[in-house]
């Protein structure tokens, strides 16, 4: 017997565009929404979209990671449930545990599932037990000399290049590719340090490097009644520093291979006794050989492309599952129609290794029109600080064919104007014109293979010209008597 857990108010333990996106589905269900924020984030857009908001500390970042303060905010406002979004505490098993102990509903998997699948080593064992292929790898490496010796032995067996990976976490942190003995030994130390700083866990392991794979993921939903469904595939191969920039759905695989990978994803999550929304990730070689990579136990940034091609609101389903309801559709009712592309428009300088570009948004004009979806949390006059993630808006477009989706994305990008910070828009304008992208020839070496995409001087000159014109107009308005 499944317990029904009725709640009328939810606290969103996140910020920015994902907080706004979660709030929209919650409000459509008639739920009241509580936002939290740090003092350094007091002008954030997600605060304006909530029914009420609570400042949980001075910040930056540390209070968004403070479980006790978030639980207290929920109790003080009468929220009965908490949605973690992604990032911050979303994959910390201590968070759902604390919610349960406080009598709050956690919108996501139970702590033991997050704990097991949050360890890439344990997740690999679960996948292997279901017959799903995994990439050759070590176990957790011991610190110091024993770990170095094990790493060198693995390299001698499998050869370079090799991937060093953090056992916990995600988002590309603690991951690096190494090509020789010296870089392996140096990389072990650096990955440990980065993993400890990012996840509070310095455990690492090694994985054989798969050459030029496609990064494919399967969106799944699982409820308390034993129902598990998949919502098809995504291709997330275009990445910088192991972090995704462009995502598309479906992944563009042959139908038989798509079916195999989706079946494999379902076996893994069933074996893990999964609940809520999650993503199973794979690496797929050119010949169709595929390997299990990991399970993300949360909502993904790129969930929008799946929603666009299936018409299914993944966040709404998360809420209903948390209430003790079954998934509201069957596997037979899921159909991917057309193609969707999502671009992460970041306040970053692609020409400077995608370094963050904080500043004030002097002009913000977004795109619109048929087949265009925006998930953002900025506005004209908003100050982008260096304290938080550099993503400022997600642009998702739909097309009945792949070429229509590409053409629509090109049009949508041309409709954007952001002045005040550098963004990834001009870089994306190059990508959507590039022949391999138009042919949907996408793998993880895409950015390295196309260095010419950094040549977008023409777009930069146009933006600089507009910025100068706006500055002149603003100066004149301040002193209209100046000739």
For the chain, the average pLDDT equals 94
How confident is the model at residue 483, as a pLDDT? 38
- The reported pTM is 0.90
Residue 116 lies in a domain: no
Residue 313 lies in a domain: yes
If you average pLDDT over residues 210-223, what whole number do you get?
A: 96
Cite the active site residues.
Answer: 298
- Picking from 208, 239, 271, the residue at the C-terminal end of a domain is 208
Q: How far apart are CA 221 and CA 233, in angstroms?
A: 13
Residue 115 lies in a domain: no
Q: How far apart are CA 16 and CA 64, in angstroms?
A: 12
H/E stretch holding 460 reads: helix 457-478
Residue of 19, 16, 60 whose CA lies nearest to 40: 60
Please tell me whether residue 288 adopts helix, strand or coil conformation. coil
CATH of the domain at 84: 3.40.50.20
If you average pLDDT over residues 218-243, what whole number do you get?
A: 95
How confident is the model at residue 469, as a pLDDT? 76
Give yes or no: residues 168 and 35 share one domain.
Answer: no
H/E stretch holding 249 reads: strand 243-249
Give yes or no: residues 449 and 321 share one domain.
Answer: yes
Residue 96 lies in a domain: yes
In this prediction, what percent of the chain has a pLDDT beyond 70? 98
Q: How many CB atoms lie within 10 A of CB 38?
A: 22
Q: How far apart are CA 99 and CA 245, in angstroms?
A: 33
Helix ranges restricted to H, 368-456: 402-414, 425-431, 435-438, 446-449
Q: How far apart are CA 230 and CA 333, in angstroms?
A: 11
Residues 6+ apart with CB under 8 A from 79: 7, 9, 10, 11, 34, 73, 104
Answer whether 384's CB lies under 8 Å from 392's CB.
Answer: yes
Answer whether 9's CB lies under 8 Å from 53's CB.
Answer: no
Length of the chain: 483
Question: What is the domain count for the chain?
Answer: 3
121 or 229, higher pLDDT: 229
If you average pLDDT over residues 202-229, what whole number do you get?
A: 96
How confident is the model at residue 155, as a pLDDT? 95
How confident is the model at residue 128, as a pLDDT? 96
Which residue reads 């570009």 in tokens? 357
H/E stretch holding 20 reads: helix 16-28
Q: What's the token pair of residue 355?
A: 């370094």
Q: What's the token pair of residue 291?
A: 């390997």
CATH of the domain at 196: 3.30.1490.20
Q: How far apart are CA 342 and CA 374, in angstroms?
A: 10
How confident is the model at residue 464, as a pLDDT? 80
pLDDT, tens digit (0-9, with 9 covering 90-100), for 301-334:
999 999 999 999 999 999 999 999 999 999 999 9
Q: What's the token pair of residue 435?
A: 């022949």
Question: Is the confidence at residue 287, as pLDDT, over 50?
Answer: yes
Question: Which residue range forms the structural domain that includes residue 263?
Answer: 214-464
Residue 124 lies in a domain: no
Answer whether 282's CB lies under 8 Å from 290's CB.
Answer: yes
Residue 1 lies in a domain: no
Residue of 4, 52, 5, 44 whose CA lies nearest to 27: 52
Residue of 458, 305, 271, 475 whose CA lies nearest to 395: 305
Give yes or no: residues 338 and 422 share one domain.
Answer: yes
pLDDT, tens digit (0-9, with 9 covering 90-100), for 356-383:
999 999 999 999 999 999 999 999 999 9
How confident is the model at residue 473, as a pLDDT? 72
Residues 6+ apart with CB under 8 A from 186: none
Answer whether 399's CB lies under 8 Å from 338's CB.
Answer: yes
């Amino acid at each position: 017997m499944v317990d029904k857990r009725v709640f009328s108010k939810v606290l969103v333990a996140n910020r920015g565009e994902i907080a706004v996106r979660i709030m929209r589905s919650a409000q459509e269900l008639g739920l009241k929404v509580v936002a939290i924020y740090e003092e350094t984030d007091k002008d954030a857009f997600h605060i304006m979209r909530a029914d009420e908001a609570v400042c949980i500390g001075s910040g930056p970042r540390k209070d968004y990671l403070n479980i006790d303060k978030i639980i207290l905010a929920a109790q003080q406002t009468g929220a009965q449930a908490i949605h973690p979004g992604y990032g911050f505490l979303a994959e910390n098993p201590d968070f759902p545990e604390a919610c349960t102990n406080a009598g709050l509903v956690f919108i996501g998997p139970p702590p033991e599932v997050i704990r097991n699948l949050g360890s890439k080593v344990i997740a690999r064992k679960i996948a292997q037990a279901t017959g799903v292929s995994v990439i050759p790898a070590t176990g957790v490496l011991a610190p110091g000399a024993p770990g170095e010796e094990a790493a060198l032995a693995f390299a001698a067996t499998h050869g370079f290049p090799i991937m060093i990976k953090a056992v916990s976490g995600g988002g590309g942190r603690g991951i690096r590719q190494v090509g020789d003995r010296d870089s392996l030994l140096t990389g072990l130390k650096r990955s440990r340090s980065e993993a400890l700083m990012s996840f509070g866990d310095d455990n690492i392991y090694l994985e054989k490097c798969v050459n030029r794979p496609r990064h494919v993921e399967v969106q799944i939903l699982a409820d308390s009644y034993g129902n598990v469904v998949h919502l098809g595939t995504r291709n997330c191969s275009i990445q910088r520093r192991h972090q995704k920039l462009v995502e598309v759905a479906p992944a563009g695989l042959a139908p038989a291979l798509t079916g195999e990978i989706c079946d494999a994803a379902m076996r893994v999550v069933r074996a893990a006794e999964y609940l809520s929304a999650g993503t199973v990730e794979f690496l797929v070689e050119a010949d169709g050989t595929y390997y299990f990579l990991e399970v993300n136990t949360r909502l993904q940034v790129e969930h929008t492309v799946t929603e666009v091609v299936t018409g299914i609101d993944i966040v709404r389903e998360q809420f209903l599952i948390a209430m003790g309801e079954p998934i509201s559709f069957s596997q037979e009712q899921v159909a991917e129609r057309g193609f969707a592309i999502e671009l992460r428009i970041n306040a970053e300088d692609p020409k400077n290794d995608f370094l963050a570009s904080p500043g004030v948004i002097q002009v913000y004009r977004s795109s619109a029109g048929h087949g265009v979806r925006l998930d953002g949390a900025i506005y004209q006059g908003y100050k982008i600080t260096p304290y938080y993630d550099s993503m400022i808006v997600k642009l998702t477009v739909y097309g009945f064919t792949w070429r229509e989706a590409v053409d629509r994305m090109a049009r949508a990008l041309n409709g954007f104007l952001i002045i005040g910070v550098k963004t990834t828009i001009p870089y994306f304008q190059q990508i959507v014109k590039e022949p391999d992208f138009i042919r949907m020839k996408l793998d993880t070496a895409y950015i390295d293979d196309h260095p010419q995409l950094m040549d977008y001087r023409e777009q930069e000159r146009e933006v600089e010209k507009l910025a100068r014109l706006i500055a002149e107009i603003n100066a004149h308005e301040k002193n209209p008597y100046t000739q």
